Every structure is written in C-alpha cells, then in structure tokens.
Amino acid sequence: MDLRGATALVTGGSSGIGRAIAKALVETGTKVAVTGRDEKRLAEVAGTLKAVAVRADVSNEDDVRRTYEEVLRAFGHLDILINNAGMGIFKPLIDMQRSDFDAVLATNMTGAMLMAREAAKHFISRKRGNIVNIGSTASHRGAPNGTAYYASKAALRSMTECWRAELRQHNIRVFLINPSEVITGFAAASGFAQKDNPTKLRSEDIAHAVRTVLEMDDRGFTTELTVFATNPKD
C-alpha cells in the first residue's frame, strides 16, 4: 500500500516500539493516532510527531470504543491498526498471583482482540484494511517466569491466524511481527534487568519491519515476520 496519506492507529504509541512505529509512519506521510495511559508521554509524542493522542486503556471496552470515535472524527476513516500495547509480569509459577496473570492477558490478549474487533468492523465496511499485531518470539517457546507473558503472546499469535482466515475475503491483511529482544523500557517496567549492547535490536528495527510489510502492494502480504538481532552480545 501507499503509506502517503494513509491513516494509522498505534496502541501503546507513547514509548518504545509503538512510538518508533508511529514515527516511521509519520515520516512516510501517514496520518497517525497513538494511544497510551500516560498523559504526559502522549502529549509529548503528539507535539513531536504531530500525531493525534488518545488517552486510553486497551483493556477497557469503553476506552476502546471512545478511541475509535476520536480517531474517526479526526481522520474520517482508518487504514491501519497497529496492535502494540503490551505489558509483562514475570514470576515463577508458584508465585504467580491471579491478579497479575489476569492483568497481562487483559492488555496483551483481550485488549488486542477489542481493538481488532472494532477495526475489523470498520475495515469490512470499507472492504480493505490492515491489522498489524506486534507479537514476540515468546509465542514460539517457553521460559522460566514467563507464564503470563508467554501465554499472552501465544494467544495473540493464534488469534492472528483466526482473524486472517476470517478477514482475507474482505481484502483485509492481518500481519504478525515477532521481535526478539529489543532495548526499550519494557524490561524495567516489567521488573527485570536488561543488559544494553549496541548489537541488540532497537525499536527502530521493528518499526522498519512494520513499514516494510505494509508497503507491499495490497494484492499480497507477509503473514508473519520474526526479527532477530544478527549477533547479540549479553
């Protein structure tokens, strides 16, 4: 698709990978709206990128509906949804609290479904559209302390395949982008240490992948793309 003049909604767009995706799209001439829960960050992103900022929690159904109302009021229509909002809580199984488990799935799984559901309604009516789910290599494997996060990303991968099967007949492309380790604030927010190294992936690398798959002509699409660092050093 031609991204010049297109419209996009990026959830979790006030920092990290989401912000990098929003920036990359704006630079191609796309009109972008970003969502997030941090009002201060949203205001900064809106000012810097000249994006539409919507303070919203993707796990809140009322917030989701309001998000689309605000975005459609601003743009008139939507071409692209980037399902990027995510959180992580990493604990051993024996220490996992139900509330923590539910919180991760509420954002990473249920929130993604709610956002995609409303986007799909709009896209079906227009007979075109694009949903990009930001997954993780965690969806293909397991790891200690990963019960909640890994489960949520595996669920997102499965939902992506279901949505793709349903929506292709409406000319809607559904992509899954799986980053491996990326240097962002996610680790600190999730309560674990992350070693920085120039050989590890940056948010801009994932943004490049998103932009690239979207720019393919609408007659085809890349169903799933995994992004690894070439030779990361711990």
CB proximity list for 55: less than 8 A, separation 6 or greater: 35, 36, 37, 39, 42
For this structure, is 149 an active site residue? yes
DSSP the chain: ---TT-EEEETTTTSHHHHHHHHHHHHTT-EEEEEES-HHHHHHHHHHHT-EEEE--TT-HHHHHHHHHHHHHHHSS--EEEE---------GGG--HHHHHHHHIIIIIIHHHHHHHHHHHHHHHT-EEEEEE--GGGG---TT-HHHHHHHHHHHHHHHHHHHHHGGGTEEEEEEEE-SEESSHHHHHT------TTSEEHHHHHHHHHHHHHS-TT---SEEEE--SS---
User: Which residue in 123, 149, 163, 175 is the catalytic one?
Assistant: 149
As annotated, the active-site residues are 149
